[in-house]
Amino acid sequence: MSENRVLVPFKENGHAHQRCMESALTVAEQTCRARGVRLTNIRRRVLELVWRSHEPVKAYDILARLQDEHSGSAPPTVYRALDFLQTEGMVHKIESLNAYVGCGDPNHMHIGQFLICRDCGAVAEMDDDDVRILLAEKAGNLGFQIDREVIEIKGLCAVCATEKR
């Protein structure tokens, strides 16, 4: 079994989220600079708000916070920033929740596989080649060529499973 890459883990004991978030922001800044694209104030702020927790964040929740800070914010403000961040691989949309999560690895372009806890709402991101390979093979049996996968798995994370006992 080759890969079990975990890009964004579930919150473990002693998870220092402040640091986790700062690191994501730093990587984002470096990546944008390297690519010659602009992480403007709005985009940066939206990325921060997405990273406030490991739960998926809704566009209109982001908007509400932006409006607290700057009344000129409107839906397009948020959706444009989210579009940019998704294009640059810094944010993923969770389609089944209409919500957005920060990506742990913007440098390596990919679309991950998400594990979503039904209890705490946290999301972990995997990027597993075995899964990708198997799906490509199964789809290939039907003559189907894969462009892009949406894989969103609902269930119970280890922390919540423990607490249930």
Partner DNA sequence: AATGATATGTTATAATGTAACAATTTACAG
Partner DNA sequence: CTGTAAATTGTTACATTATAACATATCATT
List CB contacts of 45: < 8 A, sequence separation 6 or more: 66, 69, 81
Contact 124, 8 (CB under 8 A): yes
> CB 130 → a second copy: shortest distance, Å?
6
- Give the count of residues interacting with DNA (CB under 7 A): 23
Q: Build a one-symbol-per-residue string for 80-99: x at contacts with a second copy by CB under 8 A, - elsewhere.
A: ---------------xx---
Q: Does 30 bind DNA (CB under 7 A)?
A: no
- Applying CB under 8 A, the site for a second copy has a residue count of 38
CB 101 within 8 A of CB 114: yes
Choose the binding region for a second copy from 27-35, 49-57, 65-73, 147-155 (rule: CB under 8 A). Answer: 147-155
Give yes or no for residue 150 binding DNA (CB under 7 A): no
Considering the rule CB under 8 A, would residue 13 count as an interface residue with a second copy? no
First to last CA, the chain: 31
Q: What residues have CB less than 8 Å from 156, skipping those under 6 apart?
A: 117, 118, 119, 164
Among 5, 10, 48, 58, binds DNA (CB under 7 A): 58
Rounded CA separation 57/62 (Å): 7
Selected range binding a second copy among 3-11, 28-36, 49-57, 62-70, rule: CB under 8 A: 3-11
26 contacts which partner out of DNA, a second copy, none, CB within 5 to 8 A by kind? none
Q: Classify strands 123-126 and 113-117 as parallel, antiparallel or unpaired.
A: antiparallel
Radius of gyration of the CA atoms of the chain, in A: 17
Contact positions vs a second copy (CB under 8 A): 4, 6, 9-10, 95-96, 113, 115, 117-118, 124, 126, 128, 130-131, 134-135, 138-139, 141-158, 161
